[in-house]
Amino acid sequence: MSAEQERLARVRLSHAVEPGDGHVADRVLEIGAQATIDEVVALGQRPELVARLRDVDPDRVLEIAERTGLRFVTPADVEWPTQLDDLGHGQRVQGMGGVPVGLWVRGPMRLDELAGSIAVVGSRSATSYGFGVATEVAATVARAGSPVVSGAAFGIDQAGHRGALSAGGATVAVLACGADRVYPAAHRELVDHVATHFAVVSEAPIGSAPTKVRFLSRNRLIAALSTGTVLVEAALRSGALNTAHWADDLSRVLMGVPGPVTSVTSQGVHERIRVGAATLVTSGLEVLELTGLAGQHLVTPPRGPDRPHDAFSVDEVRVLDAVPVSRGASAASIAGVAGVSAQEADRVLRAMTDAGLVRLDVDGWRVVAPGSAR
């Protein structure tokens, strides 16, 4: 079997088999594409598939692809994203899974440039909060050189693509329809822009419409292509959780952005975090820390602003707490309240004067600015 014959066999399978057909994918991995076709035809156990295989003219399909600006990428090609090979060892959900027989690509970006990419996925009914966070996350990781992968849907997907573009970074859209089509139609300008400068990818046949099953099979590609998946706003029945499950099964880094505990839109994210499947993240910098090389993007732990008395000893803090606000007090009185000697109180008060925390008035010691040292 020549390499060209094997390639044409994969084109036939791509147009005859539903994306994510785990049985076919496994057989192609084991015996090759042409041998799989021969086996399906010989056994005759799937007559509808046999009929579809006979109807496909692979040369004609490739001609149409060339006219529409598409190319067919297979594991034999140099640009094949090898991270997809992990799907050969992943789960099968109702028979769905496996390495795709090939991918239809529209756009100049090579798929092997997706190493280290980050997926940003979530609810189509995104809130302004979720849209803003997803945009920031995508912009930050794209600015750091990590391409952003998403599905071009409304809501969080759109925010992910636009965030990457706003930062001058790369983004790739993985579709549930043919790569020559646009879904949703309202995102034609976005998808065409991505295709012009980067890449639009699909496992589905040229010209095919999106279906529920194709969305689910598409999700496994988003998860497999990426080093990590960021889940932003996903309800308990959100399709984005399917992508999260694939990411977890493939041992990719799964991250979740928390929302208000009362938000239905974030319940699915919160559950993933609660059971330990997803790591909580609040910014693109935290995403980079989790997905980058060890020590590459370390985030400084957040803390409140430094206060003048942070380095004080316990006794010094007691003296400061004993200084009144509304009226002055003697050093002896302050020492008694603080439980320290008069000499110690006097020393601390003079040191605090130099720090601008207390002052000595005619009626005694008092805090300089009420509440500022508390």
> Whose structure tokens read 């071009």?
152
User: Which range is most confident: 84-93, 188-197, 305-314, 353-362?
Assistant: 188-197
Q: Which of 119, 118, 85, 122 is nearest to 100 (CA)?
A: 85
Binned at pLDDT 50, 70 and 90, residue 307 comes out as confident
Measure the CA–CA gap between 209 and 52, rounded to whole angstroms: 17
Examine the pLDDT at 1 and tell me if it is beyond 80.
Answer: no
pLDDT single digits (tens) 134-168 = 999 999 999 999 999 999 999 999 999 999 999 99
Examine the pLDDT at 235 and tell me if it is beyond 60.
Answer: yes
The pLDDT of residue 293 = 64
Categorise residue 28: left if φ over 0, alpha if ψ from -120 to 50, beta otherwise.
alpha
Examine the pLDDT at 353 and tell me if it is beyond 60.
Answer: yes
Examine the pLDDT at 371 and tell me if it is beyond 60.
Answer: no
Q: 352 versus 232: which is more confidently predicted?
A: 232
Give the CA radius of gyration of the chain: 30
Binned at pLDDT 50, 70 and 90, residue 294 comes out as low
The alpha carbon torsion through 240, 246, 250, 256 (nearest 10 deg) reads 30
The pLDDT of residue 104 = 98
The pLDDT of residue 373 = 40
Examine the pLDDT at 40 and tell me if it is beyond 70.
Answer: yes
The pLDDT of residue 59 = 96
State pTM to two decimals: 0.85
User: What is the percent of the chain where pLDDT is above 70?
Assistant: 97
The pLDDT of residue 56 = 96
pLDDT single digits (tens) 195-215 = 999 999 999 999 999 999 999
Examine the pLDDT at 20 and tell me if it is beyond 90.
Answer: yes
Domains of the chain in sequence order: 3-291 (3.40.50.450), 314-367 (1.10.10.10)
The pLDDT of residue 372 = 47
pLDDT single digits (tens) 245-261 = 999 999 999 999 999 99
Binned at pLDDT 50, 70 and 90, residue 326 comes out as confident
The pLDDT of residue 151 = 97
171 phi/psi in degrees, rounded to 5 = -145, 145
